[in-house]
Structure 1
Amino acid sequence: MAKKDHVSETPATQFLRKNGIAFSEHPYQYEEHGGTAVSARELGVDEHHVVKTLVMQDESTKPLIVLMHGDRKVSTKNLARQIGCKSVEPCKPEVASRHSGYLVGGTSPFGTRKAMPVYVEETVLELDKIYINGGRRGFLIGIDPKSMATVLPLKSVHCALEE
């Protein structure tokens, strides 16, 4: 890792280092409401390999995390059916921040404030490398998605819709 690219620690990077998970750091120029299209463009990678960390809740307001390809949307109906809930909906930004400890746009599934179940779109695990938020806006980490299963309570689901 080049010294100039080093970004200060976040709860996510601390968590990964503590658990011995290899990752690369990829800072980029964050744009408000730019989403994964901006980060993919800035890093010069396919948006399908940029993974969104979405904080959602079920009908009894229990929080959960969904990891989804940047170029796909979550079918909340399909997700709810697969995880045995009546309904799933995105949390309001302030609620998501309270659960995760991160600002929306900088949410990482690693080192969250609350332990939450983590659902991952099954095809994410088929990729060799993904780019996922490192715990700060404008900062992604490159990681082997299979290594996430060793440190996160991952459950594979199929709930992607084309964007």
Structure 2
Amino acid sequence: MARDRPGAGPATPATVALDRAGVPYARRPYPHDPAVPSYGMEAAEALGVDPARVFKTLLVDAGKGLAVGVVPVDGRLDLKALASALGAKSVTMADPSAAERSTGYVVGGISPVGQKRALPTVLDETAYAHSTIFVSGGRRGFDIEITPDDLAAVTRAVRARIGRA
């Protein structure tokens, strides 16, 4: 996949990081409605893709710091499975303000790429069933399309089953 032309969507820390790393991706902006209950499902619908290919970025508190779980928007994060993948005793969902401070992104637009601080990241293994997946590009109404392998490489993600229906 080649990078789309620079004008196709906003420049964000995520796109800057991907460009610097030479990782191919595609910018996928879409009209965002702040009133929708699920930003991820909104992205799937607006982009016309199966929700199983659109992944949400969730931050957890692992006791010794924050970590990232990336799971399909049509499922839920299994906290026990994520804790196991991280080698932690347990994890809890991170406070939204802590997630925003740590990543530099706003909730609903947190990208797994280009965060202010690199955090331990786990990518749900279902991502590998698809040639490309969609993750937040760092802003509400803006996703990036990328291969699971490239996303894992740029975020140093571990692969594990951390999602559930």
How many residues of Structure 1 are paired with residues of Structure 2 in the alignment? 160
**Structure 2: segments with no counterpart, 5+ residues:** none
Distance 1:150 1:26 in 2: 21
Letter of the structure 1 residue corresponding to residue 144 of structure 2: I
Residue 68 of structure 2 corresponds to residue 65 of structure 1: yes
**How far does residue 144 in structure 1 lie from its aligned partner after superposition?**
1.1
Partners of 2:150 and 2:118 in 1: how far apart?
Answer: 18
Runs of 4+ in 1 over 2 A off after TM superposition: 31-35, 81-84
Q: Which stretch shifts more, 71-80 or 9-18?
A: 71-80
The aligned counterpart of 1:43 is 47
> Given the alignment, which residue of 82, 89, 92 partners 2:92?
89
Per-residue Cα deviation, 1:73-126 (whole angstroms, up to 9, x for no partner): 011022213322121111111110011110001111111011111101112123
Pairing 1:7–2:9 present: yes
> What is residue 76 of structure 1 aligned with on the other side?
79
**Using the alignment, how far apart are the partners of 2:52 and 2:136 within structure 1?**
14
Identity percentage of aligned residues: 32
Q: 1:24-39, aligned counterparts within 5 Å?
A: 24-32=26-34, 33-39=37-43
Letter in 1 for 2:66: P
The 2-side partners of 1:42 and 1:93 are apart by 25
CA distance in 2, matches of 1:149, 1:120: 7
Aligned CA-pair RMSD: 1.6
- TM-score (structure 1 length as normaliser): 0.91
Query: Whose strand proportion is higher, 1 or 2?
Result: 1
TM-score, normalised via structure 2 length: 0.90
Show CA shifts across 1:141-160 (max 9, x none).
11111112322211111121
Q: CA deviation at 1:140?
A: 0.4
The residue number in structure 2 matching 1:156 is 159
